[in-house]
Amino acid sequence: MKLTPIRLKRINSGIDFENAIEILGISKSMLYKIETEKRSPSKDIIFKMSKLYKCSTDEIFKALKINEKVYKEDN
């Protein structure tokens, strides 16, 4: 699997894939799609990721290549 910025955030936080899906409350396929940039997570998942990966939501938006302002307006 390609090392995307959001996947690196998880790895650098010391969180393995199985623990991440359990803590985030999402399926394996959902996390895979998020980490391979095929799907954008909900606001709730972005918030949970920031807590789990010990970073700001801004850093999560940047790692996911999402424009936070546009994302907030659309969701």
Q: What does the pLDDT read at residue 25?
A: 97
Predicted confidence (pLDDT) per residue in 11-56, tens digit: 999 999 999 999 999 999 999 999 999 999 999 999 999 999 999 9
From the CB of residue 60, how many other CB atoms can be counted at a distance below 10 Å? 24
pLDDT of residue 19: 97
Q: What pLDDT score does 46 carry?
A: 96
Query: What is the tally of helices (H) and strands (E) in the chain?
Result: 6, 0
Confidence band, pLDDT 50/70/90 cuts, at residue 70:
low
At 73, the pLDDT band (50, 70, 90 cuts) reads low
